[in-house]
Amino acid sequence: MDTDLVIVGSGLFGLTMARRAAEDAGARVLIIEKRSHIGGNAYSHTDPETGIEVHTYGAHLFHTSNERVWEFVNRFTSFTNYVHRVYTTVDGVVYPMPVNLGTINQFFSAAYSPDEARALIASQAAEIDEGRADENFRTKGISLVGEPLFRAFFEGYTAKQWQTDPEDLPASIVSRLPVRYTYDNRYFSDTWEGLPTDGYAAWLERMADHPNITIMCDTDFFDESQPYHRDALVGKVPLVYTGPLDRYFDYSRGELGWRTIDFETEVKPVGDFQGTSVMNYGDRDVAYTRIHEFRHFHPERDYPRDKTVIAREYSRFAGRDDEPYYPVNTDADREKLLAYRELAKDEPKVLFGGRLGTYKYLDMHMAIASALSRYDAIVGPYLRGEDGAQ
């Protein structure tokens, strides 16, 4: 085979690894991708009716403070000056998120100074008995921000995300809840933030566009009817695997828990549905967790003024055939993960990477940073045939 490296999965981890291997080591890289398009979950498509860019797998906001990542991504795309802000609707009123002084003053119809608000929240948080805080997510949450704020802004949203009563969720899922005692409602605090000017698909395609990189879409690594499947490749060619870790080992140590998301996408016959890109819904009796309105990610674009695309987002536990989105990370999951890591050590010339391959939530900049550093430490030296590389 005239391939020096096979990469399973064309998400940002796989693409970054491919790019480095092709450019730095001159390696011939083959990427196999199960889906019919590249880019993993960062991919976006153009809605045919409106021309609006839709983030196919949920809203993706790029942000980083990592200079190397910023320089790397800017080789393939420029970024707009979009700054992300989120609002939430609770009990018929819209508030700015994350919970900040504006949220608090609106909620209590007050004009507290930062110190006054801090004192109020501290006194409300103190109402939960010492020692009860670690009982469950609800008691923990109240011990952090007090009952009124917890109920309005954290309880319902979290219950919907986890499909579980807050009393039945472990206290350990939270060590702090975000509350800011200023009016700053900028969602991210990283040095750089923005959206790819020509869209995600264009960015991802430019990353893949290199004479040494070949991509095969609609190709499943576990499909034995195609030549590039697991048993035909492992041990014979170096592999980077970015699919689900448990799937690679035929679930032999059990299934790792994931949450998934369902999107209900709709074109609305109005120019502006909600006035902002992301609106959360904190009430438990509203089934969705949030609504995205994609036109607001690109106010600089010339989108139609009489139509808009929205997506309602619903959260639930993932079955084996669902898209795995967020690791659940129970104690049982952690045990299985350790067992899989042991198995992974014995796989010849296979590197497990990315969010699925390591069972870790990674933001885009983290997936890229991880691929850059694991290329430097492991894949690069190996491809260049350096002594000591495994």
Binding residues (CB under 6 A) for ligand FAD: these are: 8-14, 32-35, 40-42, 57-62, 220-222, 242-243, 261, 325, 354-356, 362-365, 367
Is 374 tagged catalytic?
no
Among 134, 301, 334, 361, which one carries the catalytic annotation?
361
**Which residue number, 181 or 222, has a Cβ lying nearer to ligand FAD?**
222
**Which residue number, 6 or 104, has a Cβ lying nearer to ligand FAD?**
6
Binding to Na ion by CB under 5 A, coded x per residue (else -) over 35-74, reads ------------------------x---------------
Is 361 tagged catalytic?
yes
The entry of ligand FAD, Na ion, none that residue 292 binds, CB within 5 to 8 Å by partner kind: none
Is 259 tagged catalytic?
yes
Least Å distance between CB 226 and ligand FAD? 10
Least Å distance between CB 84 and Na ion? 9
Question: Which residue of the chain is nearest Na ion when measured via CB?
Answer: 59
The entry of ligand FAD, Na ion, none that residue 243 binds, CB within 5 to 8 Å by partner kind: ligand FAD
**Which residue number, 15 or 59, has a Cβ lying nearer to Na ion?**
59
Is 290 tagged catalytic?
yes
Least Å distance between CB 68 and ligand FAD? 16
Is 180 tagged catalytic?
yes
The entry of ligand FAD, Na ion, none that residue 248 binds, CB within 5 to 8 Å by partner kind: none
Least Å distance between CB 309 and ligand FAD? 17
Query: Please, are residues 357 and 243 in contact by the beta-carbon 8 Å criterion?
Result: yes
Binding to Na ion by CB under 5 A, coded x per residue (else -) over 231-260, reads ------------------------------
**Which residue number, 112 or 314, has a Cβ lying nearer to ligand FAD?**
314
What is the 3-class SS of the chain, one letter each residue?
CCCCEEEECCCHHHHHHHHHHHHHCCCCEEEECCCCCCCHHHCEEECCCCCCEEECCCCCCEEECCHHHHHHHCCCCCECCCCCCEEEEECCEEEECCCCHHHHHHHCCCCCCHHHHHHHHHHHHCCCCCCCCCCCHHHHHHHHHCHHHHHHHHHHHHHHHHCCCHHHCCHHHCCCCCCCCCCCCCCCCCCEEECECCCHHHHHHHHHCCCCEEEECCCCCCCCCCCCCHHHHCCCCCEEECCCHHHHCCCCCCCCCEEEEEEEEEEECCCCCCCCCEEEECCCCCCCCEEEEHHHHCCCCCCCCCCEEEEEEEEEECCCCCCCCEECCCHHHHHHHHHHHHHHHCCCCEEECHHHHHCCCCCHHHHHHHHHHHHHHHHHHHHCCCCCCC
**Which residue number, 140 or 365, has a Cβ lying nearer to ligand FAD?**
365
Binding-site ranges for Na ion (CB under 5 A) = 59
**Active site amino acids:** 176, 180, 259, 290, 313, 361, 363
